[in-house]
Amino acid sequence: MNLSFAVPMSGKLLALNQVPDENFASKVLGDGFAIQLDGEVVVSPFDGIVIAAFPTGHAFIIRRDDGMEVLIHIGLNSAGKPKAFRMQVEKYAQVKQGDVLVYVDKNKLGDSPEELISPIVFANPDIKITLNNENQHIFVRDTESIQVKL
């Protein structure tokens, strides 16, 4: 079954094995992809509930009604940079696809492009992900670049 999935942020679409963090690249946290952030907004990829909103604003976990969960981790080594984030939602907030989760000041995340790499991983082992525009620029809220199947 194809699921409606909106790109959560603008940037370059990367395979998860391109992430310079072994926890994400090895898929120990789940399968997914990454985006090298070049925008200033991160949105919910689907309708659901925010089951985790990290206090710094650097990561969110959203759960759909059918139980599918996604972790959106904005930037690498970003947990210690709370001034880079302006959270728009809190834990247990109901969100619709495309709702803003957080605004990001990417200049405060770091100087290297690697620090802007943002892994998006699924907790569900049965998920199948197809990247239609790998290594290309994709845009926030686009529903064609990434296919997610259960």
Active site residues: 73
Give, in order, the Cα–Cα distances in Å from 96 to each of 4, 38, 46, 81, 108: 11, 23, 6, 27, 28
Task: Return the exposure string of 10-37: e unless at least 16 CB atoms fall within 10 Å of the residue's CB, then b.
Answer: bbbbbebebbebeebbeeebbebbbbbb
List the structure tokens of 88.
């728009």
SS3 113: helix
Closest CA to 38 of 14, 11, 15, 58: 11
